Amino acid sequence: MALKHHIEVLRCKGCGLCVAVCPKNVLEIAEEVNTKGYFPAFQARPQDCILCALCCTMCPDVAITITEEKEPASTER
Ligand code: SF4
Ligand code: SF4
């Protein structure tokens, strides 16, 4: 099962803590605001993410999660 990194844009207040803590320099702050008026973080270099979860731990707004992505259901029996 693959792991998926997700940033909930509407929870993000653009504080930049996750950008600062990421050891792989994956994250950046967007240049466009979300509907709440904050500049949210996003994965600018998702291919470099090692899913270490440091950003999830650091985020004061619990906006970042790493979840298991279920494989599509197999049609074989
Ligand atoms: S999971 Fe780790 S490598 Fe990936 S964005 Fe977060 S801090 Fe960076
Ligand atoms: S730490 Fe959380 S609130 Fe701050 S920029 Fe990152 S995702 Fe947004």
At 2-32, the pLDDT tens digits run: 999 999 999 999 999 999 999 999 999 999 9
* C-alpha span between 19 and 16 (Å, rounded): 5
Q: Whose CA is nearest to atom 2 of ligand 1?
A: 52
At 25-71, the pLDDT tens digits run: 999 999 999 999 999 999 999 999 999 999 999 999 999 999 998 87
Q: Which of 18, 19, 54, 62 to mutate to test the pocket of ligand 2 (most atoms within 8 A of CB)?
A: 18
Q: Which residues contact 15 (CB under 8 A, 6 or more apart)?
A: 60, 61
The backbone region for 27, taken as left when phi is positive above 0, alpha when psi lies in -120 to 50, beta otherwise, is beta
* Domains located in the chain, CATH noted: 2-69 (3.30.70.20)
Is any atom of ligand 1 closer than 6 Å to the C-beta of 41? no
Residue 1 pLDDT more than 70?
Answer: yes
Global pTM reads 0.90
Residue with the larger pLDDT of the pair 76 and 43: 43
- Go through 34-72 and write b for each residue having 16 or more CB atoms within 10 A of its CB, e for each that does not: beeebbbbbbeeeeebeeeeebbeebeeebbeeeeeeee
The confidence score (pLDDT) of residue 70 equals: 81
